[in-house]
Amino acid sequence: MSRVGKNPINIPSGVQVSVNGREVAVKGPKGTLTQSVEDGIEVKVDGAQVLLSRATEQKRHRALHGLYRALINNMVVGVSTGFKVEQELVGVGYRASNQGNLLDLVLGYSHHVVFDLPTEIKVATRQDKGQNPIITLESHDKQLLGQVAAKIRSLRVPEPYKGKGIKFVGEQLRRKAGKSASKK
């Protein structure tokens, strides 16, 4: 049995969930999100809760039961409170600035890397003296936010020797020792 899929999703005040056939729409103060649900998974709004059930005990339906419960829960949390990701640029001369949704990065290449963000994502950059630059991304769509954050990180993945690159704030990197002196 899927333990995740059995849990009901509580709907906070100010959030509306509607089910139209296979489409689940969640509307709240931060925006609107929709998700299509496959056959075999039934979504029901019961008062201030969303309940999911599956048609059969097939392995596929059991897997989708928990998946769709998690996706719909992320939608409800996103439109009510939103999600936030912070990334840190580690390296000498690495800088970040933004104008609207246009992110301009200096990552040690011979050119600036200009990244155009989707309109659903709000970006803020800050550079404190003596600290690494921080990029803050906020959105109501957790999937899109994670995808954009991963794309930004892939522009300069942290290397294992000095740790230079773009990393998530609080991320622990595995460091390698590097060359050791030869023994005589």
Q: What is the pLDDT of residue 181?
A: 65
Q: Residue-wise over 56-88: b if at least 16 C-beta within 10 A, else e? A: eeeeebeebbbbbbebbbbbbbbbbebbebebb
Residue 17, token pair as written in the block: 């969930």
Q: What is the DSSP letter of 90?
A: E
pTM here is 0.88
- Bridge partners for 96 per DSSP: 105
- Per the listing, tokens 């000498």 go with 92
Distance CA 168, CA 175 (A): 16
Length of the chain: 184
Instruction: Quote the pLDDT of residue 6.
Output: 87
User: What pLDDT score was predicted for residue 180?
Assistant: 77
CB 120 within 8 A of CB 103: no
Residues of the chain with pLDDT under 50: 1
Give the domains, in start order, of the chain with CATH numbers. 3-80 (3.90.930.12), 83-168 (3.90.930.12)
